[in-house]
Amino acid sequence: MILKLAIVGGDGTGPEVVAEGLKVLDAVGQDLGFQYASKPFDFGAERFLATGQTLTDGDLDDLRQYDAIYLGAVGHPDVKPGILERGLLLKMRFDLDQYINLRPVKLYPGVETPLKNKTPDDIDFLVVRENTEDLYCGNGGTARLGTPQEISTQEMIATRFGVERCVRYAFEQAVARKEAGYPGRLTLVHKTNVLTFAGDTWFRCFNEVGEEYSDIQREYHHVDACCMYMATKPEVYDTIVVPNMFGDIITDLGAAIAGGMGVAASGNLNPDPDSTNPSMFEPVHGSSPDIAGQNKANPLAAIDSLALLLRETGRLKDETLLVQAGERINAAVQQVTPRFAGKTLDRSGYSTTEIGQMVIEAL
């Protein structure tokens, strides 16, 4: 198989960090002997400012020709908030039905956590965030705009279908992790004491599906309590399943306790084996326009996202070489992080290209 990759560098530091990922891909591809073909796509602020286009139906058809999408970051100070987020990133997630947002929260060796007395053994969990519903896709609107009678609404959607496919995926992840030595615990995070309708759909679905997974211990935490536990006893988490909006919020907190955005990787997955919709992999961080083009951004999150891309695409397509490649890159990232001891990941003083080179040497 020749792995076909669509590359979306995007805005700000996105293209710089993705370039390092591609160097790492070259190195691991040569070493393990697998082939890949990649094509750059110019989606992002520049194209929007020049043409008014974010992501067209034709673009989506083009993307469907690829096995996976590797994205840097989108966002630009000259583009009004919401346009690229909704028109590009969320459109890609929704229209390619990437219904799982996979976000590992793992403190890598040598990385400093802001949590006192916590070690890599304590901060090591997986967040499975639903990625196509919830507050992100409900109806909404504003009437009597700008008047004292202004009214705006924004709906929260939970469909049994959307919740169940996410919950099932999360149980499967918990099973796989248990086989790898984790406790086998899945925690649903919601706010069922207030969101009694959407929360109830999640809660019942979680427990009904959970009956099929008798080996997996079920827990439930309200999202506010979850934030507290993440900051005080993150070791209670193994796998978390969470709706879109709460998942967005707790994964930024997760990134923070794991040392910051410098190393937070993510995958937007369509894990259906028969789907023609590719998955998309991106660092959790944004486009950092303040340091764009200065060779300062930390590419580890982008490189680790590439590791996820290879591992997940390999699993989906039954290509063990790709899985191995992903695992090797992740291992190399964890060999590099001790060099950040005593520094922060985000502003370490190492340049983008230096860090990329460190990963290649570790490989």
Q: Applying CB under 5 A, which residues contact Mg ion?
A: 248
Residue from 55, 90, 216, 359 touching ligand IPM (CB under 6 A): that is 90
Q: Which residues contact 56 (CB under 8 A, 6 or more apart)?
A: none
Q: Which is nearer to Mg ion, 271 or 283 (CB)?
A: 283
- Binder of residue 7, out of ligand IPM, Mg ion, none (CB less than 5 to 8 A by kind): none
Cite the beta strand spans of the chain per DSSP E: 2-10, 35-41, 68-73, 100-106, 124-130, 140-143, 151-154, 185-190, 217-222, 239-242, 265-269, 279-283
Question: Are the C-beta atoms of 152 and 141 separated by less than 8 Å?
Answer: yes
Which residue of this chain has its Cβ atom nearest to ligand IPM in the complex? 85
Q: Which is nearer to ligand IPM, 90 or 336 (CB)?
A: 90
Near ligand IPM in 331-360, by CB under 6 A = none
Encoded tokens for 160:
């049994």
- Binder of residue 90, out of ligand IPM, Mg ion, none (CB less than 5 to 8 A by kind): ligand IPM
Q: Which is nearer to ligand IPM, 210 or 283 (CB)?
A: 283
The candidate with the shortest Cα–Cα distance to 338, out of 285, 263, 280, is: 263
Near ligand IPM in 279-318, by CB under 6 A = 284
- Binder of residue 89, out of ligand IPM, Mg ion, none (CB less than 5 to 8 A by kind): ligand IPM
Chain position carrying tokens 């300062």: 296
Q: Is 130 in the site for ligand IPM (CB under 6 A)?
A: no
Amino acid (one-letter) located at 15: P
d(CA 298, CA 296): 6
Window contacting ligand IPM (CB under 6 A); options: 82-90, 143-151, 168-176, 193-201: 82-90
Q: Which residues bind ligand IPM (CB under 6 A)?
A: 85, 89-90, 248, 284
